[in-house]
Each structure stands twice: as structure tokens, then as C-alpha cells.
Amino acid sequence: MAGPLTGYRIIELAGIGPGPFAAMMLSDMGAEVLRVDRADAVRDGAAPPFWDVGGRGRRSVGVDLKRPEGREAVLRLVEQADALIEGFRPGVTERLGVGPDECLARQPKLIYGRMTGWGQTGPYAAAAGRDINYIALSGTLSMIGRIGGPPVPPLNLVGDFGGGGMLLAFGIVCGIVEASRSGKGQVIDAAMVDGAALLAGMMHGLRASGQWGERGTNLLDTGAWFYEVYETADGGYISLGPIDPTSCEEMLRITGLADDVDGGGPVPDPSDRDSWPSMKRRLAAVIKTRSRDEWCGLLEGTDACFAPVLGPDEAPQHPHIRERRTFIELAGVVQPAPAPRFSRTVPTVTGPPTRPGQHTDEALSDWAFSGEDIARLRAAEAIR
């Protein structure tokens, strides 16, 4: 059975980071995503970049959008599409002749997804930036890190992927659902700065209630001794997160702290924030008396809210991860499987990443371009 988005067609104007991630998510769910690469990115005979996980599951055509025939080819594709993804700076697609007005004129039900860092409007809209900048301006980066240290960028997960590509994919699906009722398309302005702010919504609520203070002193940012990563005797790490009383009691019982094995006296109430630093030192000393595997033997399968901190090579081999098939291997590259899971319309990856322009003739033919059409485009150097 095919994925839940089977039958939908999406055009992806090739970009980097969050746009391809959104396209990958939609493709994983069964949508036919056709990537439009720049003609000058096409390299005859170049090997596909199989390591580019975000490029999996879709075909590529090489088109020169600076040529009128190339623009017209893309607009013809748009006529058959449900959505389009672009990740250029504001105004670029308009200058290329494939902006929202031109595309919606060809396909009134089109969902035109725009992915930027700063958004289509605002003083920063035309400025360059990267994930770290977007999450910084949103206020989210300032909340991530340990007490006494600087903010710690959480890779590029919060801006590019969580607040960017994932929200764009969500917006496109929402737009498609609405268009099925109204018969009208629309433009999605997906900005990483907005998405990064949204992801931190709970923390803003906690701040408003007086429950969130200086970075690294709070319940979920390594301030609490019962929500932390601890080093083990063999240099490994484990994670503990028993923030509810029942789980905390279980963790204290198994580690021995409930019996005062370290001689530190009774364990203070977890709500006593003044005791958090000293309790963290006590628990750290106890955890360091055993190896990571020893703690796994004691804590796995309990209600202590525990998991070992696994490296990227270890995670796919863990029994739980392996049983759920959280990772797959595609073209020799181990990578995350499509998510979430569906009971009936099961998502699958249709293929590994492809090189730019690898399917130009084949894909155009499938999108109702005749052999004569393709020959004319090639003669005009509009495709490659």
C-alpha cells in the first residue's frame, strides 16, 4: 500500500537545507516530488550523492530558468501540480518569472510554499543568514545551554529542520486540504525565525508563569538533577529524566540514593531548587561508579525514565530501534526511516538521492511533455 500522499504532485525548485527536507518528508509520505535543478548544476556522468539523505525519493530535471523556454516548461509543470516549494530570497522567483502570481495564474489551486530564514517581510527579509542567526533572533537560542556558559547551538535542528522544513511540509499539507474544499490556492510564508519561536512556545508560557529563569537553571535545560546527562565509569553517558514523583522514586531506589549509599543524607524534595546543584553532584558521583552497560542492565525497562546516550553508529543497532526499523539502509547509507507511522497507507522511500538532471527526459514525458516538446527545449538549451 502506498503512502498517504500518493497521487499528489509537488514541484521543488532545488535549494539547500529546509526546502529539501520538506520535499523529502512529502516524498516519504507518497507524494510525487519533482526537483527542478539548475541546468548548470547538471554534470553528465557524475555519481549520485547517496550521502545526501535529504535528497532521497524524487526525480530531477535540469532546467535553465533564465531562458524563456525554461520558464515556460516549469509553468507547464505547475499546471499539473498541487504544490510548489522554493527556498530563494524574497523576490527571486518573481524575477525569474515563476513567482506566485505567474504560478497561480496557471494553477489556481496551487499551494506555493516559500521557505526563508527571515520571512518574506520585515527589516531582515533581504539579508543573508543561517540557522544559528534565525534561532538567535527568535529568542530560542538564548534559552539553550548550561548555567554560566554561552548559548549552545543545537546543531541546525531547530531552525533549518524543525522550525523550517517540517513546518513548511505541515503548511503545504494544510494548504492542500483547504484547497480541496475551496478550490483556491495560496502562498505559504514559512520562516525559520517564526518556526524557531513556535517550537519554544512552552518555555514562553513557563516564563510568563515565573517558572523559567536564567539559562541552565530550569527543569528542562540541565538545571535539575533529575533531568540531566551523566558520565559513567567507562566514559559513556546516560540520560535521566524522572521529573514525576513515581519515576524519581524508582530512579533513586535503583541508584541507591534512596538508601543514602553515598552518605549524603536524605534526598531533598525535587521541588527544592536550592538543592539542585548539590544533588546533581551527588548523583553524578554515584553514576560514575558503574559503566554505561551496567546502568543499562539496572535501569532499562524500568519507570526511571532512562536511556543510554548512543552514538550515531550505535543507535541503529539498539534492540528497540532495530525492532521498530527506525533506520533503513539505502544505497549503502544508513539513514532515518520515514516517520510517522501509518497503519494502512505505509510510507516508503522510493529511491536514493539522484544527481541533478538525471531524469529530465523521463520525468518530462511522465508530466505530459511530448517527444517533440522535449526536443525543442533541448535545442533551445532550456533543459539539460
Catalytically annotated residues: 160
Residue with cell 535542528: 157
Amino acid at residue number 65: L
3-state SS, residue 97: coil
Under DSSP, the state recorded for 55 is: G
Contact yes or no for 197/191 (Cβ under 8 A):
no
| Cα 231 to Cα 356: distance, rounded to the nearest angstrom | 45
CA distances for 359 relative to 50, 87, 168, 176, 232, angstroms: 16, 22, 25, 26, 51
| Cα 357 to Cα 378: distance, rounded to the nearest angstrom | 12
| Cα 18 to Cα 178: distance, rounded to the nearest angstrom | 23
Q: Which residues contact 128 (CB under 8 A, 6 or more apart)?
A: none
Amino acid at residue number 257: L
